[in-house]
Amino acid sequence: MTSPKGHFISFEGIDGSGKSTQAKRLVAALQAEGYDVVHTREPGGSAGAEEIRALVLQGEPDRWSAETEILLFTAARRDHMERTILPALEAGKIVICDRFADSTRMYQGLSRGDLRALVDQLHDLMIGREPDLTLLFDMDPDVSHTRAVERDSIDSRFEDFGAGLQKAMRSGFLDLATSAPERFRIIDAARDIDTIAADTLGVIKAHIQ
């Protein structure tokens, strides 16, 4: 995959931490300032990847093994990269992506035993790229889990894994941030929406200028 010119920014965090709310606010704020922004998400973000999204996010928690999920999420990501992310970056745009490979590292890497090495191997083989910047929306899983469950979405397969997994993933995400400080910025997601939006916009503008 070629070396792009735009800015590739991912939002990560446990379910209900406010990523989608903040991504929407950020995209609107950047567009109002005249930036060319592509707002996308995973799993999904291209026609084929959206079809895979329905397969992986709906149904019973044991519908797929963790290994099969790694393949499905990576297949979706490859299509999303080829058709949406790389063309936008090559055109010099800012790509705001709601979740990317760090979610696979946490959800598939931790949810049913330690499969982190497998996730990383397949990522190196088929994706081979990280975002330029990753904002980690960090907060207490008890609060974010309640928010996520109250939202009552059909894409809730992973929320059904329960609060224990969300706790393990919170600390896993913080470990990832510690291991790649040049790429990660931690956002305190327990504050009110406007305060987080102002903080997020400041972090992004410092990065793109």
* Residue 88 CB contacts under 8 Å (≥ 6 apart), including other chains: 6, 38, 95
Which of the ranges 73-81, 117-125, 127-135, 147-155 carries the binding residues for ligand ADP, by CB under 6 A? Answer: 147-155
- The yes or no reply on residue 194 touching ligand ADP (CB under 6 A) is no
Please pick, from the candidates 15, 79, 132, 138, the single residue that binds ligand TYD as defined by CB under 6 A: 15
20 or 190: CB nearest ligand TYD: 20
Q: Does 64 bind ligand TYD (CB under 6 A)?
A: no
Residue 45: both structure tokens together = 């973000």
**Site of tokens 């997020």:** 200
Count CB-CB contacts under 10 A for residue 188. 11
**Minimum distance from CB of 66 to ligand TYD (Å)?**
9
139 binds ligand TYD (CB under 6 A): no
How far is residue 209's CA from residue 173's CA, in Å, rounded to a whole number? 27
To ligand ADP, the closest distance from the beta carbon of 192 in angstroms equals 6
Please tell me the distance from the alpha carbon of residue 55 to that of residue 58, in angstroms, as a whole number: 6
Separation in Å, CA 89 to CA 93, 131, 185, 199: 5, 11, 21, 24
Indicate which single residue of 8, 73, 173, 184 sits in contact with ligand TYD (rule: CB under 6 A): 73
Element (H, E) at 104: helix 101-110
Q: Is 20 a binder of ligand TYD (CB under 6 A)? A: yes
Q: Does 22 bind ligand TYD (CB under 6 A)?
A: no
Q: Where does this chain bind ligand ADP (CB under 6 A)?
A: 13, 15-21, 147-148, 151, 192-193, 196
